Structure 1
Amino acid sequence: MAILNADLHCHSVVSDGTLTPEDLAARAAANGVELWALTDHDEIGGQKRALAAAHANGLKYLTGTEISVTFAGETVHIVGLGFDADDERMHEGLLQTRDGRGPRAKEIAEGLAQVGIKDAYEGALKYVGNPALISRTHFARFLVETGVCKDTNEVFRRYLTEGKPGFVPHRWANLKDAVAWITQAGGIAVVAHPARYKFTANEEYALFHEFKAHGGQGVEVVTGSHTAAEYVKYADVAKEFGLAASRGSDFHSPGESHTDLGQLPFLPGELTPVWELLADRIQ
């Protein structure tokens, strides 16, 4: 079952993507995706729309979200798949996680104003489908539109990463709670795009060790920001920690994303695909 065009990581206008759940489902189907999940940041408000759109386009569907977690001073993302989207504890946990985004966004705007970029908060809001989920990506789109930077990568490099004028850290959920919200709702927790985190080898080992101890069961091996060498590295991590492997483009927008929906290499055949563990949760 490793040879399945599953795309289990992407974002809609409900968080920081630019397409609706309906347009994403149509795009996934057009690109040959067979099993899909919408994984908006700290939000499951688009799940019913995504499920209906998946079925309208002939796709199998898994519920999804991507939860922001603080671990060893870094923001780590944990994807949840196959959970009950009506679970009250998950709704409450995600609500608490989202609540910090608004104040953080205003602090980002203040930092940008100090280097001459005015009205960034109002500008970013123009790109927000859900004001509770305003994020750095929305600021990046505003700075590109106004000609401050040529693309979103330049925005992050110059303004929105640690040590830059618009960087504001946020205290997210902790790893234990995020994994618990997912697993108690019947789903599986997956470490998203692990190569993106700036961990030492010891810190990365600690992340996976603790994740597994809390009940985490998967890792994204093949994802839009990973290189071919990183596919191999995290296939080995999956085997070392006894984790299932996931595959997802992390698609946000046709004009911004590294990889389109459904366009990734298949998972290595020796790994257990996460969807095999979720066979009874596929809709």
Structure 2
Amino acid sequence: MPILNADLHCHSVVSDGTLTPEALAARAAANGVELWALTDHDEIGGQQRAMAAAHAHGMKYLTGTEISVTFASETVHIVGLGFDAEDPRMHEGLQATRGGRGARAQEMSAQLEKVGIRGAYEGALKYVGNPELISRTHFARFLVETGVCKDTSEVFRRYLTDGKPGFVPHRWASLKDAVRWISEAGGAAVIAHPARYRFTATEEYALFTEFKAHGGRGVEVVTGSHTAAEAMRYADTAREFGLAASRGSDFHSPDESHTDLGQLPFLPGELTPVWELLADRIR
């Protein structure tokens, strides 16, 4: 199998990134990416722009999104790749899971006001390309801009996480629904950055077991938030559950992301890359 510089996880201004799909495509191509996917949170409105930009820079493209689901009281992200971006069931499902973000954001702002941080909702909106997708990341940028915290890492140590001011849980889609939307639209569902979830070993095993049972097909092994040891661990998990392996930087912003587009280690050679399952979906 030839080595391929694929980056199948990143975000634009359509969700919580800071660059346009066109700027992301240019950055990916400049970094040697050969196969690219834009995976905005719960949104596929940037797909046609991303595909056109990818082709303009000589890259192959897979459609993508990152769907928020609730599993064992934890928010888990499922990346969908290679689906039909015009599928009505996908559009309806994503619209429904976006629906609770506005009310949640207002409640987050009210909590922050109680600890002396005023105007957070309006401040966060300045960073939002799509108001339907206002998120903790947009609030974090406001807290940095106003000097409450020096960077977004400090924000998530002091605010917006469980037990801290500004944290408001939201019930997302079910794991079954997210995998079904992706699969029925012709794509492959992938568990994103599994090392980030605060699961016990038993809960993680249940996640992978249920994901596989619902038709999930892959797991991110190499990603911007995984250490080398974690990549090895989830390579073993991919083999154990018969899942393909994916690779993606989870790039959001030149100023915030630790890993740039296309700059990850390559996948271990003994794994099946997820793009091999989607060869007929690559454009």
Q: CA deviation at 1:2?
A: 6.1
Q: How does 1:155-166 map to 2 (within 5 A)?
A: 155-166=155-166
% of aligned pairs identical?
85
Q: CA deviation at 1:156?
A: 1.0
CA distance in structure 2 between the partners assigned to 1:151 and 1:4 by the alignment: 33
Q: Which runs of 4+ in 1 moved over 3 A?
A: none
Residue 83 of structure 2: aligned partner: 83
**Structure 2 counterpart SS, 1:160:** coil
Residue 167 of structure 2: aligned partner: 167
Residue 112 of structure 2: aligned partner: 112
Pair 1:220 & 2:216 matched: no
Structure 1 letter corresponding to 2:54? A
Structure 1 letter corresponding to 2:250? D
Q: CA deviation at 1:89?
A: 0.3
Structure 2 letter corresponding to 1:11? H
Residue 203 of structure 1: aligned partner: 203
Deviation per residue, 1:23-82 (Å, 9 max, x gap): 000000000000000000000000000000000010000000000000000000000000
**Structure 2 counterpart SS, 1:233:** helix
Does the 8 A contact of 1:51 with 1:61 survive in 2?
yes
Q: TM-score, normalised by structure 1?
A: 1.00
Structure 1 letter corresponding to 2:235? A
Deviation per residue, 1:184-223 (Å, 9 max, x gap): 0000000000000000000000000000000000000000
Q: How does 1:53-68 map to 2 (within 5 A)?
A: 53-68=53-68
CA distance in structure 2 between the partners assigned to 1:44 and 1:193 by the alignment: 20
**Structure 1 counterpart SS, 2:158:** helix
Structure 2 letter corresponding to 1:222? V
Residue 242 of structure 2: aligned partner: 242
Residue 178 of structure 2: aligned partner: 178
Q: CA deviation at 1:3?
A: 1.6
Count of residue pairs brought into register by the alignment: 283
- Give the unaligned 5+ runs of structure 2: none
Structure 2 letter corresponding to 1:59? M
Residue 188 of structure 1: aligned partner: 188
Q: CA deviation at 1:10?
A: 0.1
CA distance in structure 2 between the partners assigned to 1:194 and 1:2 by the alignment: 26
Residue 45 of structure 1: aligned partner: 45
Structure 1 letter corresponding to 2:23? D
**Superposed CA RMSD:** 0.5
**Structure 1 counterpart SS, 2:172:** coil
Structure 1 letter corresponding to 2:100? G
Residue 31 of structure 2: aligned partner: 31
Q: CA deviation at 1:269?
A: 0.2
CA distance in structure 2 between the partners assigned to 1:77 and 1:2 by the alignment: 29
Does the 8 A contact of 1:13 with 1:130 survive in 2?
yes
